[in-house]
Amino acid sequence: MHELAGTGDDGTTGLLGGGRAPKDDPRVEAYGTVDEASSAVGLAKALTVHPRVRSICEEMQRGLYSVGAELGTNPQAGKAFAQTGEAEVGRLEKLLADLEDEVKMPEGFILPGATPASGALDLARAITRRAERRCLTLEHAGGIDNPQIRRWLNRLSLLLFVLARFEEDESGFAARPAKN
């Protein structure tokens, strides 16, 4: 049996830098939701046939990994990982601006799923928005002292929306409006 087997049976999980937290702790909720977003981006990366989309997805997964590590570090352990900052937010804004110049954005709400990859990107967007809300909850509780995390997640959700539309355009599909 693996030496870590059963260590979470008491309803706690380990934090980076040592210590444990309840599995329903706002910190665990925040980094767990970031992990979900990374998995959804990974699904989109696996489904796309477009190298540019694949490359951007991998870059976003690396960013989510960094944000998750920052969130998952025991606050008493200090800053074990580089903090998400203006440069990381700026990188997302640059990618977003580049894609927005190439994609005709739909007017109004759309039905996700024109392609498997765009559907996965829209799922990742929705999960990222939940991660942003979980980080806001953690911030209000005094558990985050870096507001750039929330800004980064906000820009990422926008980027994922635009990337899904780019994926559809590149695949020859148009976003479908949500109205009847």
Whether 18 is covered by a domain: the verdict is no
Number of domains comprising the chain: 1
Q: Establish if 63 belongs to a structural domain.
A: yes
d(CA 37, CA 31): 10
Answer whether residue 126 is part of any domain.
yes
Give the structural domain span for 144. 23-96+114-173
Q: Is residue 42 part of a domain?
A: yes
**Is residue 108 a part of any domain in this protein?**
no
Claim: this prediction has a pTM higher than 0.95: no
Question: Locate tokens 């990107």: which residue?
Answer: 121
State percent of the chain over pLDDT 90. Answer: 69
Take residue 157 and report the two structure tokens written for it.
């959700």
Instruction: Please write the tens of the pLDDT for every residue from 6-24.
Output: 777 889 998 988 899 989 9
Cα–Cα separations (whole angstroms), residue 39 to 65, 80, 94 = 10, 24, 23
Q: Residue 178: inside a domain, yes or no?
A: no
CATH number of the domain within which 38 lies: 1.20.1200.10
